[in-house]
Amino acid sequence: MTARQTREEVAAWRRLLDTIAGWPEKVAQLPVATPVDPSGLRRELQQRYQFDKKIPLDELTDQVLDLFTTLNIQVTHPRYFGLFNPSVLPAGVLADALAAVMNPQLAVWSHAPAANELERLTLGALAARLGLPAESHANFATGGGEANQSALIVALAHRYPAWPTGGLAALPRRPVVYVTSESHHTIAKGCKIAGLGLDAVRQVPLTDRWDFDVAALSRMVAADRSEGLDPFMVVGTAGTTSAGQVDPLTELSAVARRERLWFHVDAAWGGAAVLSDQLRSELAGIELADSVTWDAHKWLSVPMGAGMFFCRHADAVARAFAIDASYMPPPSGFDTVDPFVTTMQWTRRTIGLKVFMSLASLGFEGYARLIEHQARLGDELRAMLTAAGWQVVNHTRLPTVCFTHPDLENGSADLVGVLNYLLRRGKVWISSVTLGGEEGGQAALRATITSYRSSEADLEVLIGELEAGRRAVLESAS
Ligand SMILES: *Cc1c(COP(=O)(O)O)cnc(C)c1O
């Protein structure tokens, strides 16, 4: 390495460290989002980067910082009330940088004993908070999608001992899994990937509060059995993606036990509530799950991607993912497991280091404060919306708020018009949803308190923008 390269590298690091240190203040001054011309952006990048000459690292760092600062949606903005993408804790950023520098390989325990044991320790502490037995399996994953996929595969291996070897051809009847219109679509996608097909996904109706209709589940299971199908799994969601609602987990678990269904709880976002004494009761019944999905890269505010998969049947996990590979180092002999034989991934980075460092630096107490701050802002947002004449339409104590306005319901103003007004101005970022399925569902605007740095003042800006948007759309319609 030449001296010049070292200077460049040092300059690049200094630039990055300055950005990291100043980011929370800086991002709050930026627009949350700026309109982008897709074809212009692609053309510009193609012209700029032809990879035919070297670019000094400090210059390159500046260029990427500039692109990312101006052309991405700023999900770490305190007024990004968006899709569960959090503002990240400093400990998590540090951990990811550290992991990149040393690049530990966690596929086999013996290659990274320290990293593997820190992950095991962290997962064990979080599993205990979920109320799962101490001997449960747990692993870090890229995200909730991988964790939900793991649940499907382990549930299949548990129910059908012939499946890991014989595949679908070894099954006597067609397996089916029960979800609702509010379940995350990674379950349906997972059924495609596992070869079950989308037809294996049975959609259970909702109650008039948008909750899982447990009585309807029992009826559907009976009807499907008599049709020759084989019900094997039900998915309850603890914090739906659209509305942040929690399905009746205890009731679902009772039906699952009676009907011999694998009970998976998808708590990708809502799982964090178990860390708060005030909110834990919202997730009552999660401790009865056969498996749980929980994303640290949502409400635990660590950088992407950090999913977690928990399962009380370690034997089924072993059966689902076991494989022989002569070139892999042999097991350590101690009671350790090699992640490559118990998880979907092979090469494995230390995803869990950022969760460990966040948890260890805050403590459970610090996390509870963070989570309760966001929940309290959610309550305030509901109150402020109601006071301003808007109507909250979802049912949850968690900080996802779906709302509409009489002007939108009676057709005087258009919901998409209001949303676009907000997004054009770039002071806040929210989204829209349809609760209860696309057909005949309730259209609503949706705001989540996803940044632990959001404050009351940010909520006031949001209400101001909504009111301005509503008036502007009313005026342009008249
Ligand atoms: C976000 C989400 C997922 C998907 O998780 P990824 O981390 O995006 O893969 C699954 N289920 C629910 C309920 C979610 O909110």
Task: Report pLDDT digits (tens) over 15-42.
Answer: 999 999 999 999 999 999 999 999 999 9
Cα separation, 449 vs 401, in Å, equals 9
Is the distance from CB of 109 to CB of 337 less than 8 angstroms?
Answer: yes
Task: Tell me the β-bridge partners of 402.
Answer: 446
The two tokens of residue 163 are 């499946």
Q: Whose CA is nearest to atom 10 of ligand 1?
A: 144
**What is the pLDDT at residue 2?**
55
Task: Tell me the β-bridge partners of 292.
Answer: 265, 310
Phi, psi dihedral angles at 80 (to 5 degrees) = -85, 100
**Element counts in the chain: helices (H) and strands (E):** 15, 11
Is the distance from CB of 315 to CB of 305 less than 8 angstroms?
Answer: no
In the chain, % helix, strand, coil (3-state, to 5) comes to 50, 15, 35
Task: Tell me the β-bridge partners of 294.
Answer: 308
**What is the pLDDT at residue 391?**
98
The two tokens of residue 388 are 């301003």
The pairing of strands 307-311 and 137-141 is antiparallel
> Is the C-alpha dihedral spanning 155, 156, 157, 158 positive or negative?
positive
The two tokens of residue 128 are 């205990």
DSSP string, 300-363: T---S--EEEEES-HHHHHHHH----TTSPPP-SSS---GGGTSS-SS---TTHHHHHHHHHHH
Phi, psi dihedral angles at 457 (to 5 degrees) = -60, -35
DSSP code, position 238: B
Distance of CA 194 to the CA centre of its chain: 21
pLDDT at position 344 over 70: yes
Q: What is the pLDDT of residues 177-217, one digit of tens each?
A: 999 999 999 999 999 999 999 999 999 999 989 999 999 99
Residue type for position 87: S
Region of 195 (left: φ > 0; alpha: ψ -120 to 50; beta: rest) is: left
Q: Closest Cα to residue 115, out of 89, 134, 140, 88?
A: 140
Residue type for position 8: E
From 269, 286, 300, 450, the mutation candidate for ligand 1 (largest count of ligand atoms within 8 A of CB) is 269
**What is the pLDDT at residue 439?**
77
pTM equals 0.96
pLDDT at position 5 over 70: no
What is the 332 CA–ligand 1 centroid distance (Å)?
A: 34
What strand order describes the sheet that includes 442-448?
A: 391-392, 400-404, 442-448, 431-435
Q: What is the pLDDT of residues 290-333, one digit of tens each?
A: 999 999 999 999 999 999 999 999 999 999 999 887 777 777 77
What is the 183 CA–ligand 1 centroid distance (Å)?
A: 10
More confident residue, 47 or 5: 47
**What is the pLDDT at residue 334?**
73
What is the 474 CA–ligand 1 centroid distance (Å)?
A: 36
DSSP string, 248-289: -HHHHHHHHHHHT-EEEEE-TTGGGGGG-TTTGGGGTTGGG-
Q: What is the pLDDT of residues 149-183, one digit of tens each?
A: 999 999 999 999 999 999 999 999 999 999 999 99
Q: What is the pLDDT of residues 420-444, one digit of tens each?
A: 999 999 999 999 999 987 777 899 9
Question: Which protein residues touch ligand 1 with a CB less than 6 Å away?
Answer: 84, 143-145, 148, 184, 186, 237, 241, 266, 268-269, 295, 307
The pairing of strands 262-266 and 291-295 is parallel
For residue 415, name the pLDDT band (cuts at 50, 70, 90).
Answer: very high
Compute the average pLDDT of residues 274-296: 98
What is the 144 CA–ligand 1 centroid distance (Å)?
A: 4
Cα 66–465–390 angle (5° rounding)? 140
Distance of CA 177 to the CA centre of its chain: 21
DSSP code, position 205: P
